[in-house]
C-alpha cells in the first residue's frame, strides 16, 4: 500500500464531496424553492381567500348598512309619523283636558249646588220626619192608651156583667153552674192505655170556646153538636188557681151569712176529685210537694184567711165528713172504741124547721187549712174506691165535707140587735120570726107540726124561735163541699157482681138528684128529696136558700161523648131551677121586704 495519497484523488474526492454537497444544496434549494412556490401559492390562495372574505364581509356590511339605513329610514318615518300622531294626540288631550276641566268645574259647581239642595232637602225631610214620627208616636201612644182604657172598660164591663149576672142568678134563685173541660190525658184518652181506644175516639169533641160556652162538635154524630152556656167555662189550660178564683167569692158570702154548697158532678175520670181535692202532678219530674190543690184545700185556706181578718176568736170552724155509699150515710170522722177511724152509719132526718140533719154526726174543730186537709187525708183512705174500666181508682161514693162556721162577731151581733129592734119597731111584734125565708118556712112548719126533732149538731138552723136574746145565739153558716161519685152508666164503668150494686146505687142517687132538679125547675109542689140519701142530705143546698154551685167536670174526647153530653145536660137542667133567692142569715132587710 502506497504511503502517499494522491492529491488529485484527494482533490477529486473533495471535489466530489463538494459536488455532492452542491448537488444536495441545489436539491435543497430546489426543495426550498418548491416550498417557497408552494408557500407563495398558499399565500396567494390565502390572499385570495382573504380578499374574497373581506369583499364578502364588506358586501355583507354594506348590505347590513343598507338594511340598517333602510330600517333607520322606516323607523324614522314611523317615528316621525308617531311623533306627529303624538302631537295630534297631545293636541287632542289638551283639548279634552280643557273640556274635562270645564266639565269638572261645572260638575263641582253642580254637585255643590246639589249638595246644598240635598242638605236643605234633608233638613226639610228631617223636620217633616221628626214631626211625622212624633205625630205617629203620639198617635200610637194615644191609641195604646185608648186600647188600655178599652181593655180596662171591657174588663170592668165583663166584671159588671158577671156581677149582674151573678146577682140575677141569685135574685132568681138560680143554681150557678160552672163547667171544666179537662185536658186529654195519656192514661185515659190515648190508645195504648189499658183501655186501648181507637184513634178517632181520642179526638177532642168537647171544647171550651169562650168564658161561658162549651161546644160539642163531633163530625161523626153531628146531631149531637150543640153549644151549652154556663156561668163560667174552664178549658183544659185553666189551672186549679183559675178555677178557684171563680169560686173564691163564695167564701166571702159564707162569712157574710150565706150557706154555700159547691158540688162537682161528672163521670169517673173527668176530674171531679182533681177539681175538689186536688191531685199529684203527673209530670215525670213532679215532686211530692207538686200536689195541685183543689177547691177544698184552697177554700179552707181562704176561709181561715178571711177569719184571721176578723176580730180574734169571733169565729170557730167545725168540720164533718160523710160519704154516701150504697145509699147509706157514713160518718167518716167517727171513731170506734179503740179510737180507729171507721165509717159509722148515720141517718138523715128532716128537722122541725124543714131542714135536713144528720143526728150524732161527728164534728171536729179545725183551726187551719192544714188541719182540714189532715182530717180529709185521714178519712180518704176510708172512702169506697174500686178500679173501673175508666179509672184505676174510681170513687164509688159521694164525698161531702162540711165546714160549719160559727160567728160570734160583735159586729154581727150588734147588727142583729139593731135589725131586730128595727123590725120590732116596724112590725110592732116581738115574738115573730125575723131571720130568713127558711125561718118563715120553719115557722109555718112549726105551727102545723109542733113536735120537732131536736137538733144535735152545730148545723141546725141558725134561727131558733122564739129567740129570748139574739146575742145568745151565734150565727152559723155552712160550707158544703161535695165530690160526687162518677155519673157514668153501668156499662161504661165495666163493673160486675157486687160492684154492680154499688154502681146502680150511684146511678140511682144521681138520677134522684136529677129528678129533684127537674121538680124544682118545673116548680112542682112535691120535690122528691127523700128518694135518695144524697138528695135528702143535700136538700137545703139544692132546694133551700144556699148559694149552690155545680161544677161540671167533662172529658174532652169522643170516647166519653155520651157521658159528657149527659153531664152537660144535667148542668143545663140545673141552671133552669129557680128557687128562693139565697138568704143571708144575719140581716132582716130581706125579711122586712117580704
Site residues (vs Mg ion, CB under 5 A): 272-273, 395
CB-side neighbour CA atoms (13 Å) of 317: 24
- 228: how many CB neighbours lie within 10 A of its CB? 23
Which one of Mg ion, ligand ADP, none interacts with residue 504, CB within 5 to 8 A by kind? none
Nearer to Mg ion, 272 or 559 (CB): 272
Among 254, 535, 198, residue whose Cα is nearest residue 398 = 535
578 in contact with ligand ADP (CB under 6 A): no
Q: How far apart are CA 216 and CA 239, in angstroms?
A: 22
Nearer to ligand ADP, 535 or 555 (CB): 555
Decide if 453 contacts 357 (C-beta within 8 A): yes
571 in contact with ligand ADP (CB under 6 A): no
Decide if 393 contacts 387 (C-beta within 8 A): yes
Question: What SS3 state is found at 294?
Answer: coil
Residue in the block written with cell 115557722? 443
Q: Is the bond leading into 488 cis (omega within 30 degrees of zero)?
A: no
**Which grid cell sits at 296?**
177544698
Among 176, 232, 274, 478, which residue interacts with ligand ADP (rule: CB under 6 A)?
274
268 in contact with ligand ADP (CB under 6 A): yes
As to burial, measured by CB atoms within 10 angstroms (0-12 exposed, 13-18 middle, 19+ buried), residue 508 is: middle
Among 166, 195, 217, 279, which residue interacts with ligand ADP (rule: CB under 6 A)?
279
Residue in the block written with cell 151549652? 228
Exposure b/e, 389-405, CB count within 10 A at least 16 = b: bbbeebbbbbbbbbbbb
Report in angstroms how near the CB of residue 481 gets to ligand ADP at its nearest. Answer: 14
490 in contact with ligand ADP (CB under 6 A): no
Among 181, 151, 176, 150, residue whose Cα is nearest residue 163 = 176
Report in angstroms how near the CB of residue 272 gets to ligand ADP at its nearest. Answer: 3
Report in angstroms how near the CB of residue 272 gets to Mg ion at its nearest. Answer: 5
Report in angstroms how near the CB of residue 417 gets to Mg ion at its nearest. Answer: 45
Q: How far apart are CA 75 and CA 517, in angstroms?
A: 128
Tell me 478's DSSP state.
E
Nearer to Mg ion, 398 or 476 (CB): 398
Among 377, 367, 383, 378, residue whose Cα is nearest residue 339 = 378
List the Cα angle 327/331/337 in 5-degree steps: 130
512 in contact with ligand ADP (CB under 6 A): no
Which one of ligand ADP, Mg ion, none interacts with residue 297, CB within 5 to 8 A by kind? none
Report in angstroms how near the CB of residue 401 gets to ligand ADP at its nearest. Answer: 14
Nearer to Mg ion, 527 or 534 (CB): 534
Nearer to ligand ADP, 391 or 460 (CB): 391
Question: Among the candidate windows 10-18, 150-158, 177-185, 436-444, which touches ligand ADP by CB under 6 A?
Answer: 177-185
Report in angstroms how near the CB of residue 436 gets to Mg ion at its nearest. Answer: 34
Report in angstroms how near the CB of residue 273 gets to Mg ion at its nearest. Answer: 3
Question: What SS3 state is found at 169?
Answer: helix
**Which grid cell sits at 46?**
390565502
CB-side neighbour CA atoms (13 Å) of 192: 3
Report in angstroms how near the CB of residue 329 gets to ligand ADP at its nearest. Answer: 20
Nearer to ligand ADP, 279 or 368 (CB): 279
Which one of ligand ADP, Mg ion, none interacts with residue 553, CB within 5 to 8 A by kind? ligand ADP
544 in contact with ligand ADP (CB under 6 A): no
Decide if 400 contacts 480 (C-beta within 8 A): yes
273 in contact with ligand ADP (CB under 6 A): yes
- Between the CA of residue 291 and those of 280, 282, 380, what are the distances in Å? 4, 9, 16
Strands (E), 96-224: 176-181, 206-210, 213-216
Report in angstroms how near the CB of residue 364 gets to ligand ADP at its nearest. Answer: 24
553 in contact with ligand ADP (CB under 6 A): yes
Q: Which residue is nearest to ligand ADP (CB)?
A: 271
Report in angstroms how near the CB of residue 534 gets to Mg ion at its nearest. Answer: 15
Site for ligand ADP in 374-433 (CB under 6 A): 391, 394-395
Which one of ligand ADP, Mg ion, none interacts with residue 581, CB within 5 to 8 A by kind? none
Among 538, 548, 537, 536, residue whose Cα is nearest residue 578 = 548
Q: Which x/- pattern over 247-266 shows residues binding ligand ADP (rule: CB under 6 A)?
A: -------------------x
Q: How far apart are CA 572 and CA 265, in angstroms?
A: 12
Q: Which residue is nearest to Mg ion (CB)?
A: 273
Which one of Mg ion, ligand ADP, none interacts with residue 182, CB within 5 to 8 A by kind? ligand ADP
569 in contact with ligand ADP (CB under 6 A): no
Nearer to Mg ion, 395 or 402 (CB): 395
Which one of Mg ion, ligand ADP, none interacts with residue 270, CB within 5 to 8 A by kind? ligand ADP
270 in contact with ligand ADP (CB under 6 A): yes
Decide if 206 contacts 189 (C-beta within 8 A): no
**Beta strand 344-346 with 547-554: parallel, antiparallel or unpaired?**
unpaired
543 in contact with ligand ADP (CB under 6 A): no
Among 173, 269, 544, 556, which residue interacts with ligand ADP (rule: CB under 6 A)?
269
Report in angstroms how near the CB of residue 242 gets to ligand ADP at its nearest. Answer: 10
Question: Among the candidate windows 274-282, 360-368, 436-444, 463-471, which touches ligand ADP by CB under 6 A?
Answer: 274-282
Give one word for 381, left, alpha or beta, with left for phi > 0 and alpha for psi -120 to 50. Answer: alpha
- Which residues contact ligand ADP by CB under 6 A? 182-183, 185, 266, 268-274, 279, 282, 391, 394-395, 486, 553
Amino acid at each position: 500500500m502506497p504511503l502517499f495519497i494522491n492529491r488529485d484523488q484527494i482533490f477529486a474526492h473533495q471535489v466530489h464531496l463538494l459536488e455532492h454537497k452542491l448537488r444536495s444544496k441545489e436539491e435543497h434549494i430546489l426543495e426550498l424553492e418548491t416550498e417557497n412556490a408552494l408557500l407563495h401559492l398558499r399565500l396567494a390562495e390565502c390572499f385570495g381567500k382573504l380578499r374574497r372574505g373581506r369583499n364578502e364581509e364588506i358586501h355583507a356590511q354594506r348590505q347590513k348598512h343598507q338594511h340598517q339605513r333602510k330600517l333607520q329610514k322606516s323607523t324614522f318615518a314611523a317615528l316621525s309619523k308617531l311623533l306627529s300622531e303624538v302631537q295630534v294626540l297631545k293636541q287632542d288631550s289638551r283639548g279634552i283636558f280643557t273640556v274635562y276641566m270645564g266639565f269638572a268645574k261645572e260638575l263641582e259647581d253642580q254637585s255643590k249646588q246639589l249638595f246644598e239642595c240635598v242638605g236643605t232637602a234633608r233638613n226639610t225631610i228631617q223636620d217633616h220626619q221628626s214631626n211625622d214620627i212624633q205625630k205617629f208616636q203620639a198617635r200610637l201612644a194615644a191609641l195604646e192608651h185608648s186600647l188600655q182604657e178599652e181593655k180596662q172598660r171591657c174588663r170592668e164591663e165583663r166584671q159588671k156583667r158577671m156581677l149582674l149576672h151573678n146577682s140575677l142568678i141569685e135574685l132568681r134563685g138560680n143554681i150557678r153552674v160552672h163547667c171544666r173541660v179537662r185536658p186529654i190525658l195519656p192514661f185515659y184518652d190515648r190508645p195504648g192505655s189499658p183501655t186501648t181506644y181507637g184513634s178517632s175516639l181520642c179526638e177532642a169533641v168537647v171544647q171550651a170556646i169562650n168564658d161561658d160556652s162549651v161546644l160539642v162538635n163531633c163530625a161523626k154524630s153531628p146531631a149531637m153538636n150543640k153549644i151549652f152556656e154556663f156561668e163560667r167555662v174552664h178549658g183544659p189550660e185553666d189551672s186549679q188557681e183559675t178555677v178557684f178564683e171563680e169560686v173564691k167569692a163564695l167564701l166571702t158570702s159564707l162569712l157574710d151569712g150565706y150557706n154555700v154548697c159547691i158540688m162537682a158532678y161528672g163521670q169517673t175520670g173527668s176530674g171531679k176529685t182533681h177539681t175538689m181535692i186536688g191531685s199529684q202532678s203527673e209530670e215525670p219530674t213532679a215532686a211530692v210537694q207538686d200536689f195541685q190543690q183543689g177547691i177544698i184545700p184552697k177554700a179552707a185556706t181562704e176561709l181561715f184567711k178571711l177569719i184571721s181578718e176578723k176580730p180574734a176568736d169571733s169565729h170557730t170552724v167545725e168540720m164533718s165528713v160523710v160519704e154516701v155509699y150504697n145509699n147509706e150515710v157514713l160518718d167518716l170522722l167517727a171513731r170506734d172504741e179503740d179510737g180507729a177511724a171507721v165509717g159509722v152509719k148515720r141517718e138523715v132526718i128532716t128537722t122541725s124547721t124543714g131542714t135536713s140533719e144528720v143526728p150524732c154526726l161527728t164534728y171536729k174543730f179545725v183551726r187551719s187549712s192544714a188541719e182540714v186537709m189532715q182530717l180529709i187525708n185521714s178519712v180518704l183512705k176510708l172512702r169506697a174506691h174500686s178500679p173501673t174500666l175508666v179509672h184505676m181508682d174510681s170513687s164509688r161514693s159521694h164525698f161531702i165535707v162540711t165546714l160549719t162556721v160559727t160567728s160570734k162577731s160583735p159586729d154581727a151581733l150588734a147588727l142583729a140587735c139593731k135589725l131586730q129592734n128595727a123590725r120590732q119597731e116596724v112590725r110592732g111584734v116581738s115574738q115573730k120570726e125575723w131571720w130568713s125565708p127558711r125561718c118563715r118556712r120553719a115557722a109555718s112548719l112549726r105551727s102545723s107540726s109542733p113536735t120537732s126533732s131536736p137538733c144535735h149538731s152545730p148545723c141546725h138552723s141558725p134561727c131558733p124561735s122564739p129567740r129570748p136574746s139574739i146575742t145568745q145565739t151565734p150565727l152559723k153558716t155552712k160550707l158544703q163541699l161535695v165530690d160526687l161519685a162518677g155519673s157514668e152508666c153501668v156499662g161504661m164503668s165495666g163493673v160486675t157482681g157486687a160492684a154492680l150494686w154499688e154502681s146502680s146505687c150511684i146511678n140511682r142517687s144521681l138520677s134522684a138528684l136529677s129528678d129533684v132538679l127537674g121538680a124544682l125547675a118545673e116548680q112542682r109542689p112535691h120535690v122528691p128529696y127523700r128518694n135518695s140519701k144524697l138528695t135528702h142530705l143535700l136538700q137545703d143546698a139544692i132546694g133551700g136558700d144556699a148559694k149552690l154551685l155545680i161544677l161540671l167536670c167533662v172529658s174532652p174526647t169522643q170516647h166519653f161523648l155520651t157521658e159528657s153530653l149527659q153531664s152537660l145536660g144535667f148542668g143545663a137542667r140545673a141552671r133552669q131551677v129557680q128557687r128562693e133567692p139565697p138568704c143571708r142569715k144575719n140581716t132582716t132587710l130581706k125579711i122586712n121586704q117580704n
